[in-house]
Amino acid sequence: MNGSAPLDKKVPHLRPLLKWAGGKHQLLGELLPRIPEKYGRYIEPFFGGGALFFAVAPGKGVISDSNPELVNLYRCIADDVEGVIGYLQNFVNTEEDFYAVRRMDWRAISPSFAAARTLYLNRTCYNGLFRVNGAGHFNVPFGHYKKAKILDEDSLRATSALLRNTLILCGDYRDILKEYAEPGDFVFLDPPYLPVSEYADFRRYTKEQFYEEDHRDLAREVDRLQSLGCHVILTNSDHPLVHDLYRKHRIDIVSSRRLISCKGNGRSGRDVIVVVSPAPSVSSSLKADILPVQLKQYPATRFMGSKNKLLGEIWSVASQFRFERVIDLFSGSGVVGYLFKVQGKTVMSNDHMAMSATFARAMIENGDTLLPEEEAWMLLEPIQPVDRFVERTF
């Protein structure tokens, strides 16, 4: 799928607190329609600016990031929004104040003051970036914006109300997902993108990096989430490796606009949205289904190990999966293969006994050859001499 869907501006959404490199506000028109209508909890372990989370405003959410300064911001907005507002009221948008605040070590001041510092720097720095150096220190220069909006009390209080009902964690995405993801949950994954141009390697919002092997690990985690029964949406760049890692899932290519650039005027690009549906769940309780009358027309046999009495239970389990073809490797009497044929499936049969294999090909795989009437009557005529070995032995 190509193109970019517009966001419905008539529907009010909470906006992210931070301007964020790689933020998903420009993709909300594409992401929101792809979210399942029903799900358990909303889980986002690469939270960043959280544009999708704030647009969805889920009643039950788990958000996480590996950046402790970022996590401190969201926790303080949830738990002490008035304290954060109080600190923000004292900040001014001057170059001298900016660099004085930037020099502060956020870990050496109170959590709420540190949260206010994070917001202040993001809203007054150049291009609204959040970037740290190898030591984990914020290193974006002053922005020289005359009308930088440092404080929006209504927005902060509305955001606080949402975050108070949200579990806010700091940690590796794998640990978070293994601990909290459950069948039926919706997981949104927005990892650092694979670079596709000289501008695309912006991963320094935390001092850790995300390399190719990390993307491979993430793809394996997506497979685990699918098997667990989770709904998953993942975003990344339109990179060949992304297409390779997620080739068995739905991949949509959408246009996007990069807002972080040296000129501040944005650039067009293409993003990939991977949509992963949960694997079908199999009921652990076996309840025999009502089977088609046609199945009773199959010739009865006294075949050792025949599954004739289990056909209802077999179909009860098999019908929970989506499939069109069946390979019956040990056809035996052929009654199970015939069950699938009656249900409209294409059946390929096999058996190590020539008689069973031939019988299955004639009765199950065969769909257009009829036994001539005269040969059918011959089957009813007695054959002399009669070998009664089986009858005498068993």
The Cα–Cα gap between 214 and 197 comes to 19
Rounded CA-CA distance 227/132 in Å is 36
pLDDT of residue 6: 46
Report cis status (omega within 30 of 0) of the bond before 385: yes
Q: What is the pLDDT of residue 218?
A: 98
Distance (Å, rounded) from C-alpha 54 to C-alpha 56? Answer: 6
Reported as a single tens digit per residue, the pLDDT across 356-387 is 888 788 888 877 777 788 877 877 777 777 77
DSSP classification of residue 104: S
Report how far residue 306's alpha carbon sits from residue 195's, in angstroms, rounded to the nearest whole number. Answer: 58
Nearest to 46 by CA among 68, 61, 63: 63
Residue with tokens 């008035």: 82
Contact 278, 251 (CB under 8 A): no
pTM of the full structure: 0.70
Q: How is 346-368 classified by DSSP, letter by letter?
A: EEEE--SSHHHHHHHIIIII-SS
Listed ranges 8-12, 95-99, 205-209; the one with the highest mean pLDDT: 95-99
Q: Partners of 275 in the beta sheet? A: 233, 250
Compute the CA torsion angle 239, 237, 223, 5 (nearest 10 deg): -130
pLDDT in tens, 9-20: 444 578 999 988
- CATH 3.40.50.150 for domain 25-276: yes
Per-residue pLDDT at 263: 44
Model confidence pLDDT, tens digit, residues 108-133: 999 999 999 999 999 999 988 888 88
pLDDT of residue 181: 98
Does the pLDDT at position 244 exceed 70?
yes
pLDDT tens digits for 155-197? 999 999 999 999 999 999 999 999 999 999 999 999 999 988 6
Q: Once rounded to an integer, what is the mean pLDDT over residues 67-89?
A: 97
Boundaries of every domain in the chain: 25-276, 293-393
Assess contact for 120 and 101: CB atoms under 8 A: yes
Nearest-CA neighbor of 130 among 237, 203, 26?
Answer: 203
3-state secondary structure (DSSP) of residue 25: helix
Please state, in angstroms and as integers, the Cα–Cα distance from residue 315 to each residue in 50, 301, 336, 339, 345, following that order: 44, 20, 9, 8, 12
Which residues, 6+ apart, have CB-to-CB distance to 263 below 8 Å? none
Token pair 């993430």 in the structure block, residue: 218
Buried b (16+ CB within 10 A) or exposed e, 93-103: beeeebeebbe
